[in-house]
Each structure stands twice: as structure tokens, then as C-alpha cells.
Amino acid sequence: MDMAGVDKFGVIFSVAFVAAMIIIMATVLQTDSSFTASTDSTPTQTYSPPPTQTYSPPPTPQAAPQTSSSDNLKYTIRGGIVDSVSPDENHNAVKIMMDSRLDGQLTITLTSDSVTPFDDGTYFVTVDGEEVEFTQVGKRLTIDFMANSQKIMIYGEGYKSGGHDMSSMGHSDDSKEHEAMMAADKAAAKAAADKAAAKAAADKAAAKAAADKAAAKAAADKAATKAAADKAAAKAAADKAAAKAAADKAAAKAAADKAAAKAPMAVTIEPVVGSGSPGCEPECYSPSTATISAGGTVTFSNTDMAPHTSTSGSAANGPDGVFDTSLIMANASFDVTLADAGTYTYFCMVHPWMEGTVIVE
């Protein structure tokens, strides 16, 4: 029963009872006065008071359950009335405003659209700003509240209020420790993934080095076999051997010259002194234009005091995504392997006037 209705009924009943007693007393006084004035001329009158009326107070109201739904959230409440159910502006908390004159209990079923739980599937609940314990079965929460409670808040993962996270709103030490453990696990997983990626890159480089070594040995073995055949042919025919030897010598020299002219497999590029300020253009890197063979490695070594990046692309058009050393601190370096022939321009994202070129042959 609604308490306001009970109070109104009691007031009306009290007013009616007092009015009835006033009428009865007025009648008694009037009768008594008439009897005294006419004692000698009228017969004796006997007054019988009206039967006593017994006031029975209305029964004490009981907490009847209220079952309803709001914004697709089904709930049942005992000991109070729900005034409103609304999500917060970030769509990851639910606010229940209620009128509770008795100790009671609210049972509400949440949805994924209303509140996203923490990573372990739980929620955080406060009653009038104080954290409370509750019972959870799946997405159904049962929350006890005291009489005169006005607001229940149900929070989920990532909820923020007034620029502060849940720790500023009475979040328990257990919840903080739980969030810290989840963050540590996430960091450990990332570290493990980075370590695995680095190992895969190292294994790939080692496999390539082994393949290059095997190819060089096969070429050497083939050259040795050919030399033996040439020697046998030269011995069988001196003139022919002499001519062939001269031809071989010339061919060997040409091959040596070609090998000498071939671009190296590795090169180191450093920023020039003072490149952290404009004015070094266009020679802000040393060398500003480097040439390597396809599959070679460019080592960007920061010998400057200021941190630099070497990012493929240009300051005018931005990064092109081929490579990016990220920020290289002083006395640190970063290796970039370029497998495809072509011309690659790069620049420093911190000091965009620093630009250089790598030519891969």
C-alpha cells in the first residue's frame, strides 16, 4: 500500500471522529440545560450516551513487489518504487532513481547495450555513492538497499565521471588490484609478442645468412671444378690453353672490376653535427645519398645529442610506410633492410628539414 495514501486516510478519519464527538457533546449539553430549566413542568428524561466507537489504525504497509521494465531493462523492486532508469552519457553505467521508505531489494537484468562489464564479467555498484555488495547471476544483479535510499548506480568497464576514473569514486582495493593485474597481464602478453617477433626476425636473418653462405660455397666449388677442367685442357693443347688462359684472365679481371664497382651490402648513415637546427640543408645526413645492393642493410646511427627519426617519405608529403626507425635516442642506432631495387627518400619527423636518399641497386 502507498504510504502517502495511508497517511491521508488516517487524517480524514481523525477529523471525522473529532467532529462526531463535538456534535455528541453539544447535544448532551443542550439536553442537560433543557432538563434543568423545566424540572417542575416536564417528566424526567434519561440520557443514554452513544455507543463508544473504537479507532482501529490502518494496517502497517507491507513491501509489495513492483515489476516493470525501462529501456529494455527488466527489474523487480521490494520496499520502494522506481522513479526512473537511465544510462549515463558514456553508455557504460545505469542510474536508478527510486523512492524507498523501507529496507528493500532491487533485482535488475542488464544487457550488453546498457552496461559493458569488466573483463571478468563483473560490475561495480553503489547506493547513494557508497559501494555495496550484491549478488550476480549472469547479467542479473540483486542489490539490497536501506530505507530512504534514493539512487543506485551500476558501473562497467572504462566508466569515467567528472574526468576521474572509478578509483576516485570509492572503488575497493580489491577492484584496483584486479585492474592492475589485468593491466600487468596485458603488458606481459605484449612483451611476449614483441619478443617472439624479434626472435622471428633474428631467425629469418640467420636463415638468409646461411643461404647466402651456401650459395657462395656452391659458386666456389663450381669455380674450382672449372679451373681444373681449364688446366687439363691447357695441358692437352698448349696454344689453346694459352689463349684460353688469356681469355680467362681478361674475363676474371672484368668480373673483378664489376665486383669492385658493385654497391656494398651495408652502409651507415649519421646526422651531421648541429642538424637539430635548420641550416644544415641539404647535407643534414652523412652521407646524404647512400647506395647499397638489393637485400643490403642501412644502419641509421644517431651520433647527435638530439633524438632523430629516419622515416621513409618526405616532409612535404609525409611518411609513405616503407620504413620508420621511430625515435632514435643519442648514441643509439636502427637497422633497415631493403630488398627491392629503387630510390628511397626519408626525413626526420622531429626535424623535417633533415632529408636524405637511399639508392638500392
Strand partners, 131: 126
Residue with cell 646524404: 288
- Indicate the CATH number for domain 266-360: 2.60.40.420
Same fold, 66-169 and 266-360: yes
pLDDT by position in tens, the chain (length 361): 444 444 556 667 777 788 888 888 776 555 554 444 444 444 444 445 455 554 454 444 545 566 676 667 899 999 999 999 998 766 689 999 999 999 999 999 998 888 889 999 999 999 999 999 999 999 999 999 999 999 999 999 876 544 445 544 444 454 555 566 667 778 888 999 999 999 999 999 999 999 999 999 999 999 998 998 888 888 988 899 898 989 999 998 887 777 667 789 999 999 998 898 999 999 999 999 999 999 999 999 999 999 999 999 999 999 999 999 999 999 999 999 999 999 999 999 999 999 999 999 9
Q: Quick one: how far is CA 210 from the chain centroid? A: 43
3-state helix, strand, coil split of the chain in percent (to 5) is 35, 30, 35
Instruction: Give residue 19's pLDDT.
Output: 81
- Closest residue by Cα to residue 285 from 298, 266, 295, 296: 298
- Closest residue by Cα to residue 124 from 93, 83, 100: 93
How far, in Å, CA of 248 to CA of 229, rounded?
A: 13
User: Which is it for strands 355-360 and 289-292: parallel, antiparallel or unpaired?
Assistant: parallel
Grid cell at residue 323: 620504413
Going along the chain, which residue ranges are E strands?
Answer: 66-70, 73-78, 81-87, 93-99, 104-109, 124-127, 130-131, 134-137, 140-145, 151-155, 266-271, 285-286, 289-292, 296-301, 311-314, 318-324, 333-338, 342-347, 355-360
64 with 6: CB under 8 angstroms?
no
- Closest residue by Cα to residue 316 from 349, 268, 287: 349
How far, in Å, CA of 128 to CA of 149, rounded?
A: 7
Query: Who's near 215: CB < 8 A, 6+ residues apart?
Result: none
Instruction: Give residue 20's pLDDT.
Output: 82
Buried b (16+ CB within 10 A) or exposed e, 239-268: eebeeeeeeeeeeeeeeeeeeeeeeeeebe
Taking CA atoms, 48 is separated from 23, 37, 45, 238, 251, in Å, by 15, 20, 10, 167, 151
* pLDDT digits 0-9 by tens, 66-90: 667 666 789 999 999 999 999 876 6
Phi/psi region, residue 158 (left: phi>0; alpha: psi -120 to 50; beta: rest), is left
How far, in Å, CA of 136 to CA of 120, rounded?
A: 12
Angle between helices 238-261 and 173-236 (to 10 degrees): 150
Q: What is the DSSP string of 79-116?
A: SSEEEEEEE-TTSSEEEEEEE-SS-EEEEEE--TTT-P
Instruction: Give residue 131's pLDDT.
Output: 96
User: Which is it for strands 104-109 and 73-78: parallel, antiparallel or unpaired?
Assistant: antiparallel
Grid cell at residue 64: 509489495
- Residue extents of the structural domains in the chain: 1-59, 66-169, 181-261, 266-360
120 with 157: CB under 8 angstroms?
no
How far, in Å, CA of 92 to CA of 275, rounded?
A: 49
- Indicate the CATH number for domain 66-169: 2.60.40
How far, in Å, CA of 153 to CA of 332, rounded?
A: 51
* pLDDT digits 0-9 by tens, 235-287: 988 899 898 989 999 998 887 777 667 789 999 999 998 898 999 999 999 99
Grid cell at residue 16: 471525522
